[in-house]
Structure 1
Amino acid sequence: MDGNLFSAISHVSSDIQGPVDIELKGLLSAQSHRLSGRMTTVLKASAVRKDSDGERVRLACKISRPEVQRISEGDVLSTAQAIALDREPKMRNHLPKLYFSGDLRAGNTLHVRSLLNLNGKGHRTLRVLVINELEPLTAVTGKSFVKGWLDVVTCHVFLWKHGVEHGDPSLANMMYDPIEGCGVLSDFDWSNMAWLERVPGNNRTGTIPFMAIDLLSDAYWKGYRERCHHHELEAFIWILSVVFLAYENRICDPENILTKDWFTSDYIACAEEKAYFLSQNLQAIWSLPFDNFEQYQELLYDACLLVHKQFALRNEDRGRRAMEDHKRRAVEARGRHALEDCDRAEGDSTNKINKKEVESIQDDTQAFRIQYSEATWDQFISILSKFSSQPNIELDHLDINSLETHKPTFDISQCQLLFAEMRMIYGRVTNKSQPGRVSDTVMDWSLRQHRSLRQTYIAHQFLGHSG
């Protein structure tokens, strides 16, 4: 792979020298057989460490076909690393180390689409990202897994606080660094940055088995419901649930009776199965063997109970607002007597507002979103603190203080000064000093071609050959 063939080069590491050798048969991800979409593939790779006697660095090469409108994962990752260096250097251990990111010039589908008289909107590019090779977090178990899980939660919270929204907490995106012995948050290609205008239609992200029940709804997938921080925290609880309930000796049992029906492409069915688990099967947690997680049963039970209570509270709020909306529309249509009928119906358990009317409340108000995120955060921290303070269990690996330190401000109107500072870091790292619409900064051809001769030369040396 010749570095001269790449555009939009966002990063070239000086820690390695010579070409990156890619093992075409060294798959680190499930092989994609699709002819559409991102078609993400991750391959093993390696390169010689700079100023060493031939020592090779183990790398991972991620090849994907995202829409050109999407912000480059390399830009997101390099910005996240720079923010961590500026605000909390140790947080860099919980992020992948970026060695190279660029778009293959010949991989842009705009020309093909124009020849076929297709709309250029949504055209894709072939994007290459090279990072350090990591292991799945499920490669470890017991307290090492729980520590790694908390590392990733803490990193996610830290980034959210500083305006970098990961957007897809899932088990596949939680990695483990065997050298540092810590959890790593990976896969930033669905991420958003608070200071950039979002690309239309790109905010409905998530991996269904791990998504918050609130987002497993038509309201979310049709673009009416906003993804909030409490949804992200809930996703981490579902990740914990899957591993504790379905994994044994680091291997997932796909037929686990409690979790198997969560793994579906039908988000409505997944929501129903999760809701049933919370309402009917939660007590089963106490009777399961839990493999190497026996001492964490209480942690999982309390966390799932938190999800159950918060979900019920949101539904109650939406039901109340649906009733108020029902009253308003009835009065507008039929006058004062309709209000008396509605008041009687509200007190009659046999005449409840129907499900469709509740679902018509497509999203919560900003005040409710802030309230839910605050409540979920406070109770989540309370559960972890209570659990980590137990005298009879060795829990020194759970660093709750670090997590508490990075509590986000959920009212983004109070974050504008902070986000302005983060925007400056983003501009410095990516050479985009005036970031606005992602489509403007990423799709603008002249900007994408504007790279120094020295950087092109380094990229040429860096990606001289592939194995």
Structure 2
Amino acid sequence: MLVFETLTVHSTSIIRTLLGLHRTDRDCSRILHCAVFEKLSPLTDLKGLEFWKAYWDIVTTHHALWEKGIEHCDISVSNLMYRIKDKVPKGVLNDFDLSRLSIGGKREGTRANDRTGTIPFIAIDLLSPPAEKGKVRHLYRHDLESFAWVLFWVVSHYDEGKEILSQSVPFADWHISASRTRRDKIAFLSELELQSRPSWERLDYALGLIQKFWSDFYHDKTDRLWEKKRWVTVDEDSQEMQQGDQGVQQEMNEDAELLRELVAFLARSHRGKKLPGDVIQCLPVGLTN
């Protein structure tokens, strides 16, 4: 970061006061921060293994930050960037405007039950009716799933580092509504084959495995949460986590190992078939066992 300045005079609480607007319990004050960073390049400019390696750079960084209590909560294609270091593209996670600090189970920043993100990349959990009402807590697994939707989007919408500008590309209408996008995503995980562009052929098998991983995850875990209404909810006054079922805490604990499970799933062979060595080598070191 080159320059940073906080402009409290432009906070939304001051603006509401000047306009004579009453603040409700669900409103939170936002303060304008101006930051000047080095110029980064969109991750979508990369292709093939360069993209794949930089993508995992970002996933790993995001996980490390989350474990330290810095929760991004807005994973989208426009927030994944890269810089050149030692002549090699290095992935960079950008745009922490909607991030939260989690300290001792309490969150600071955007309210814990505010849904954040861009609809095509939001996790299926967070597109559900309870989430629409602000009753679902944003968990690590939701961001990890968003990384998968970004990946599916990029390989469908970009070829040789260029965006395909056409309404016929897959997922083009996923911005229309949360409920429709949720249905489409469930159908995609369960039934549809990913239509990647030719330049992503080297990653086709890996992409299919990631699709299978999330399909299995929702069939094995999340459907049971919906059926039993076991949501991780938030008390609107204290912003502390409330548990409607003892199984919720177990689900949250399992989140911490979900990245390791995903990477190990990608690294091992399936039905005698395994990812190419150069594709495996791009995966986070220490998480492939």
Q: TM-score range by the shorter chain?
A: 0.7 to 0.9
Please, which of 87, 102, 109 is the counterpart of residue 5 of structure 2? 102
Cα offset for 1:400?
2.4
Amino acid in the other structure paired with 2:133: K
CA distance in 2, matches of 1:267, 1:303: 22
- SS state at 2:198 partner: coil
What is the correspondence of 1:26-65 to structure 2 with a 5 Å cutoff? Answer: none
Does 1:187 find its partner at 2:95? yes
- SS state at 1:281 partner: coil
CA RMSD of aligned residues (A): 3.0
Aligned length: 263
Cα offset for 1:266?
1.1
CA distance in 1, matches of 2:12, 2:74: 26
Aligned to 1:295: 202
* Residues 142 and 292, structure 1, Cα contact 8 Å, conserved in 2: yes
Aligned to 1:259: 171
Provide closer, same or farther for how the CA distance between residues 140 and 214 of structure 1 changes in structure 2, counting only shifts above 3 A: same
- SS state at 1:401 partner: coil
CA distance in 2, matches of 1:188, 1:206: 11
What is the correspondence of 1:51-200 to structure 2 with a 5 Å cutoff? Answer: 98-104=1-7, 106-108=9-11, 110-119=13-22, 122=28, 124-180=30-86, 181-195=89-103, 197-199=107-109
TM-score normalised by structure 2 residue count:
0.79
Does 1:365 find its partner at 2:248? yes
Structure with the bigger RCO (C-alpha within 8 Å, sep 6+) is 1
- Kindly provide the CA deviation profile for residues 378-425 of structure 1, in whole angstroms up to 9, marking residues without a partner as x: 4302233237x95854337514215569xxxxxxxxxxxxxxxxxxxx
TM-score normalised by structure 1 residue count:
0.51
- SS state at 1:129 partner: strand
When you count helix as a share of all residues, which structure comes out higher? 1
Aligned to 2:262: 380
Aligned to 1:437: none
CA distance in 1, matches of 2:261, 2:30: 42
Amino acid in the other structure paired with 1:169: I
Aligned to 1:401: 285
Gap regions ≥5 residues in structure 2: 230-243
Bigger radius of gyration among the two: 1
Aligned to 1:460: none
What is the correspondence of 1:408-423 to structure 2 with a 5 Å cutoff? Answer: none
CA distance in 2, matches of 1:123, 1:225: 21
Provide closer, same or farther for how the CA distance between residues 228 and 164 of structure 1 changes in structure 2, counting only shifts above 3 A: same
Cα offset for 1:165?
0.9
- Kindly provide the CA deviation profile for residues 409-467 of structure 1, in whole angstroms up to 9, marking residues without a partner as x: xxxxxxxxxxxxxxxxxxxxxxxxxxxxxxxxxxxxxxxxxxxxxxxxxxxxxxxxxxx
CA distance in 1, matches of 2:136, 2:158: 32
* Residues 214 and 311, structure 1, Cα contact 8 Å, conserved in 2: no
- Kindly provide the CA deviation profile for residues 109-144 of structure 1, in whole angstroms up to 9, marking residues without a partner as x: 555543432236655544211111100001111111
* Residues 230 and 376, structure 1, Cα contact 8 Å, conserved in 2: yes
- Kindly provide the CA deviation profile for residues 253-310 of structure 1, in whole angstroms up to 9, marking residues without a partner as x: 3424432122x1411111111112122212xx3xx56322111111110111111111
- SS state at 1:193 partner: strand
Does 1:249 find its partner at 2:160? yes
CA distance in 2, matches of 1:258, 1:206: 20
Aligned to 1:216: 127
Gap regions ≥5 residues in structure 1: 1-97, 323-360, 406-467
- SS state at 1:205 partner: coil
Provide closer, same or farther for how the CA distance between residues 116 and 198 of structure 1 changes in structure 2, counting only shifts above 3 A: same
Cα offset for 1:252?
2.7
Identity of aligned residues (%): 27
- SS state at 1:133 partner: coil
Cα offset for 1:101?
1.4
CA distance in 2, matches of 1:161, 1:198: 15
* Residues 192 and 198, structure 1, Cα contact 8 Å, conserved in 2: yes
* Residues 165 and 194, structure 1, Cα contact 8 Å, conserved in 2: yes
